[in-house]
Amino acid sequence: MKKVTVLMVVALMLSGGSVYSQNAVGSMFGTLTTAKAMGQGSGDFGFGIGLADDATSFIGSFAYGLSEYSDGRIKIGLSDSDWDGDTKIVFGVDYKWQFWSYGPETTHPFDFSVGAFLEYADYSAISVLQLGGQLLASYPIALNNGRSITPYGRFNARMESLSWDLPIQVSGDDSESNLEVGFNAGVKWEMTSSVDLYGEFQLDGNDGLFLGIDFNVM
């Protein structure tokens, strides 16, 4: 029953993908994390690639466990955007707090977290600032070798602020702000005790496939 509940949550998140704005810029980093907090003092270096409609991104990150149930992450990447053909540096930070924990000692059906994030990109034609909140759900499935595979999903709602540097203005203005939503669904595979692999699909302004790898270093 718990597995069915998890699948229903993920399906509902994905089914809402049709309501997002076609004009949204979307995340350049994807999610590439589960709802499970890392634990206080833990640290991960992560690397990834985003193969999306509007941009190809190369991603680097460092995540740190701020407490038993919360962690933060700093992200930096290179994004090759279709808007102007240039490759630019993009920045991001995010935070999550886990308030549901799945396990034999609880009755919660899955891990569940709430958090916030910020992303910034400055292309030749347009700069984008995104600030929003996110909900993450995930469910660890134990494997026979002692490792796990974890399906996860994320819903985010954010304010996208756009500023044009070239005369491609909307309604005579050189900037605008819009409320947007986005959806991600993927799988984490615990390959070793210190290496995790990620694969996910993103339904947002920047639809596409994101792949990542994390190395536990602390």
Residue that the structure tokens 């602020």 belong to: 161
Region 72-95: what's the mean pLDDT? 88
Could you tell me the CA-to-CA distances from 122 to 66, 69, 72, 161 in Å, in that order? 29, 33, 23, 12
Region 23-33: what's the mean pLDDT? 91
Structure tokens given for 73: 């992450």
8 A C-beta contact, residue 74 and residue 60: no
Query: What is the distance between the alpha carbons of residues 136 and 102, in angstroms, rounded to a whole number?
Result: 13
Region 75-94: what's the mean pLDDT? 86
pLDDT-derived band at 175 (thresholds 50, 70, 90) equals confident
16 pLDDT higher than 80: no
The runs of H, that is alpha helices, within 44-145 are none
Residues above pLDDT 90, as percent of the chain: 70
8 A C-beta contact, residue 116 and residue 95: yes
DSSP E strands, the chain: 43-52, 55-67, 70-81, 87-100, 111-122, 126-138, 141-142, 148-164, 175-190, 195-203, 208-216
Query: What is the distance between the alpha carbons of residues 157 and 216, in angstroms, rounded to a whole number?
Result: 29
Query: What is the distance between the alpha carbons of residues 13 and 87, in angstroms, rounded to a whole number?
Result: 31
Tell which wins on pLDDT, 133 or 14: 133
The tens digit of pLDDT for each residue in 141-155 reads: 999 999 999 999 999
Tell which wins on pLDDT, 96 or 167: 96
pLDDT-derived band at 195 (thresholds 50, 70, 90) equals very high
What is residue 4's predicted lDDT score, i.e. its pLDDT? 36
Tell which wins on pLDDT, 75 or 3: 75
What is residue 166's predicted lDDT score, i.e. its pLDDT? 59
Structure tokens given for 139: 């469910």
What is residue 108's predicted lDDT score, i.e. its pLDDT? 96
Region 67-84: what's the mean pLDDT? 89
What is residue 53's predicted lDDT score, i.e. its pLDDT? 82
pLDDT-derived band at 12 (thresholds 50, 70, 90) equals very low
Query: What is the distance between the alpha carbons of residues 35 and 105, in angstroms, rounded to a whole number?
Result: 18
Query: What is the distance between the alpha carbons of residues 38 and 47, in angstroms, rounded to a whole number?
Result: 17
8 A C-beta contact, residue 58 and residue 78: yes
pLDDT-derived band at 84 (thresholds 50, 70, 90) equals low
- Provide the mean pLDDT of the chain: 87
Q: For 86, which DSSP code?
A: -
For the entire predicted model, the pTM comes to 0.86
